[in-house]
Amino acid sequence: MLRRGALLVVDVQLDFCPGGALAVPEGDQVVPPLNRYLELFKQSSAPVFASRDWHPAQSKHFKEQGGIWPPHCVQGSAGAEFHPGLLLPEGTIVISKGMSSWDNGYSALQGVTENGTPFAMLLRRMEMDRLYVGGLATDYCVKESVLEALKEGFAVTVLTDAIRGVEVEPGDSERALQEMWGAGAEQATFASVRGDLQAKVASRPPARTD
Ligand code: VGL
């Protein structure tokens, strides 16, 4: 069956990069490999989504309100910006999540577009059936997005050369990956994804015009 795949870049925001409020070790090192994927998906005319944590200033996700994290990715703040080196192509659809004060917002599948359309609904409307997922952080938002996408019935490929973990406890990322594989996620790196997409472009039926 022809697979229709989209790229989901998870939370490559300044607060999750070195120097940010909740820095993921080597978080910025996902940027160069993600740029290669972004270029590939753009060339293949495949959709690109970029999720972002987009928290209110007061959130139960934050330590002061009973959560476990320092304040980060507050709506409109500099730390909530995407990493400036991330080359999001024109037409990238931004998915915001964690926007209410009670919402951890780990899963991009709980996110919404700028128009308020739920991401999962949009993926169905666009007849997508596979998500290729990279970004930050392996052990939180990547993991939760992957697990929920699988639950929602999408196939998922984790881009293992374009993810990094928070590692609150050493080994968290490895455990997160095992959980994702156990739930049915597949893994790939750039060369095989490029092969996939090129094969698909070559075999794509004419676009429906009705
Ligand atoms: C994340 C910790 C707290 C993430 C978000 O994007 O993975 N991690 N909030």
- Is 210 a domain residue? no
- Is 100 a domain residue? yes
What's the total number of domains in the chain?
A: 1
CB within 8 A of 181, min separation 6: which ones?
187
pLDDT, position 198? 83
- Is 155 a domain residue? yes
pTM across the whole model: 0.94
- Is 208 a domain residue? no
Query: Which pair of structure tokens corresponds to residue 200?
Result: 């698909």
CATH number at residue 111: 3.40.50.850
- Is 93 a domain residue? yes
Residue 24 beta carbon below 6 angstroms from any ligand 1 atom: no
- Is 42 a domain residue? yes
Mean pLDDT score, 176-188: 98
What sign has the CA pseudo-torsion 41, 120, 55, 22? negative
Task: Give the ranges where 133-208 is alpha helix by DSSP (H).
Answer: 143-151, 172-182, 190-203
Q: Which residue's CA is the nearest one to ligand 1's atom 3?
A: 69
73 as an active site residue: the answer is no
Tens digits of per-residue pLDDT, 27-74?
A: 999 999 999 999 999 999 999 999 999 999 999 999 999 999 999 999
11 as an active site residue: the answer is yes
- Is 209 a domain residue? no
200 as an active site residue: the answer is no
- Is 207 a domain residue? no
pLDDT, position 210? 61
* Domain that residue 9 falls in: 5-202
Calculate how far, in angstroms, residue 67's C-alpha sits from the geometric centre of ligand 1. 12
Query: Are 7 and 37 in contact, with CB atoms under 8 Å apart?
Result: yes
